[in-house]
Amino acid sequence: MTTRKIRSILKSRPTTEGAGVHLKRAFGYSQVPDFDPFLMLDDFHTSNPAEYLAGFPWHPHRGIETITYVLEGLVEHGDSMGNSGVIGAGDVQWMTAGSGIIHQEMPRKSPTGTMWGFQFWANLPAAQKMMEPRYRDVKAADIPEVTLDSGTRIKIVSGRINRIQGPVRDIVIDPEMLDVSVPPATEFRHPVKEGHTAVAYLLDGDGYFDERRDAFAYDMMGTGWMDVSRKCNCGPETLVLYEREGGEIRVTAGERGVRFLFISGKPLNEPVAWYGPIVMNTREELRIAFEEYEKGTFIKGK
């Protein structure tokens, strides 16, 4: 089986979103074609409550899915469908905005003071942009974890490992979302569907994410102009984007082991019209969405 090569490596960059939440963006608006069907990945990780308590007050979404994964801390949420609750450590919120939803995500002060989690956006194809909204609240206890013979541990949110299926299924873009921990000096190999976009975002440790071990064999973006260190092993807050050719990824952990999120999905190959929290296919569709929001007709089926 052909092993995928790294296409590019990106360093996450600090930014502020919502009402003043400090986070790091691994990729976003300017990289849309490369990451299709994914739109954005944000990493919010801080031990300063002042950097996360302002949260993300009520705001609309249409045309996308938003996926939130909390590693540490608590996030209170509510939406226009009447859903509400708290996302805790290890929980996942998978929300399909479809034709339109208004929601809020408000972090609570963490018992440890630390808030750590991720949110990524997945696009919906034109045929499903206006589908009925739906919501999945996946508790940590419902996310299966498998341990391979090598000692590698994998939490399966979506996808399949050794016939064990993750709880998030029947998603339009056929996604896979895994939380992978590889022991020191151990190799992890995993099949990827041909043509699917595949990315890995590093949480801890370090490792080599393809076989070449050549730091000049791919693009490296997001570094400062004085950053002259170009290594072929990857560390925390680094995102690996793979080429779309090849049937598997191969990761070799460093001396401390490596933990990463692995996400893959089927590209849509459709035009993207994106402004703020709404992603459609044309500018006219964007105009209609924002006009409906102003008029109070944004939420359908009520």
- Per-residue model confidence (pLDDT) at position 211: 81
Report d(CA 272, CA 280) in Å as an integer: 6
- Per-residue model confidence (pLDDT) at position 225: 46
Q: Are 3 and 190 contacting, i.e. CB atoms less than 8 angstroms apart?
A: no
Listed in sequence order, the DSSP H helices in the chain are 32-35, 283-295
Report d(CA 78, CA 69) in Å as an integer: 16
Reply yes or no on whether the pLDDT at 302 is more than 70: no
Report d(CA 75, CA 89) in Å as an integer: 9
| Class of residue 24 by CB neighbours under 10 A (exposed 0-12, middle 13-18, buried 19+) | middle
| Mean pLDDT, residues 235-241 taken together | 91
- Per-residue model confidence (pLDDT) at position 226: 45
Mean pLDDT of the chain: 91
| Mean pLDDT, residues 219-235 taken together | 59
Residues 6 or more apart whose CB falls under 8 angstroms from that of 265 comprise 37, 38, 122, 173, 174, 175, 176, 196, 197
Split at pLDDT 50, 70, 90, the class of 221 is low
| Per-residue model confidence as pLDDT tens digits over 65-123 | 999 999 999 999 998 988 889 999 999 999 999 999 999 999 998 888 899 999 999 99
| Mean pLDDT, residues 7-21 taken together | 92
Split at pLDDT 50, 70, 90, the class of 215 is low
Roughly how many angstroms between the first and final C-alpha of the chain, as a whole number?
A: 50
Range of lowest pLDDT (122-136, 232-246, 280-294): 232-246
- Per-residue model confidence (pLDDT) at position 217: 61
| Per-residue model confidence as pLDDT tens digits over 109-142 | 888 889 999 999 999 999 999 999 998 899 999 9
Q: Are 261 and 234 contacting, i.e. CB atoms less than 8 angstroms apart?
A: no
- Per-residue model confidence (pLDDT) at position 29: 86
Reply yes or no on whether the pLDDT at 31 is more than 90: no
Q: Which domains does the chain have, with CATH numbers?
A: 6-295 (2.60.120.10)
CB atoms inside a 10 Å sphere around CB 109: 12
Query: Taking the C-alpha atoms of 76, 82, 83 and 84 in order, what is their torsion angle to the nearest 10 degrees?
Result: 20
Listed in sequence order, the DSSP H helices in 141-282 are none
- Higher-pLDDT residue of 215 and 187 is 187
Which amino acid is residue 274, in one-letter code?
W
| Per-residue model confidence as pLDDT tens digits over 143-194 | 999 999 999 999 999 999 999 999 998 888 899 999 999 999 999 999 999 9
CB atoms inside a 10 Å sphere around CB 73: 24
